[in-house]
Amino acid sequence: MTTTETSTTDTVTPEQVVLLDEDGQAVGTADKAGVHHADTPLHLAFSCYLFDGDGNVLVTRRALHKRTFPGVWTNSCCGHPAPDEPLEDAVRRRVEQELGTTVTGLRLVLPRFRYRAEQEGVVENEMCPVFVGSAEGAVTPDPDEVEDARWEPWPAFRAGVLDGSRTVSVWCREQVAQLPADPASVAAADVDDLPPAARATGTP
């Protein structure tokens, strides 16, 4: 085979997620594409809320073809760290991939957040630390991931989520209920409160 030829056996390594036990210790990995089903194993994820200088939060609508919770409005960005990927690096990577922007002032606010949710037989089952940060530059969503995105005043968004008038994902509703009234200015949480598997990735 010449150097310009490509072997028919070459494959792209599928994305992996970190599987967890009930104590948050890593117990293995699984292909991201197949991990969500009716009996989804507990795994490591993250959520991020991005703010602008005027106190608005970026909310996004999940792409209509996504396997889990398609078309649902939710927080700015969610994702899964790869095995051995520092959690903050995973957040920054996913923000750039999904939203075409960078994040500054990133900090951990809900290190112990965990949830389970089901829609049409597909389950989300995650230990999902929550971060906040600021968007640096224009937001240009990837249509494969995001159907729509908009900036909303945080106080109004929070009030609507808490009183049920603003429909959002299960995890977003539960996160907003646990977030402080002004998450954009809250001090960072202690990284020692993260699940052990998240601490093991080297999060500073």
Catalytic residue positions, numbered: 78, 126
To which H or E segment does residue 200 belong?
none
C-alpha distance from residue 8 to each of 5, 13, 14, 15, 120 (Å) = 9, 14, 17, 20, 37
DSSP 3-state percent helix, strand, coil across the chain (nearest 5): 25, 35, 45
Nearest Cα to 25, choosing from 202, 189, 198, 192?
198
Nearest Cα to 180, choosing from 152, 158, 160?
158
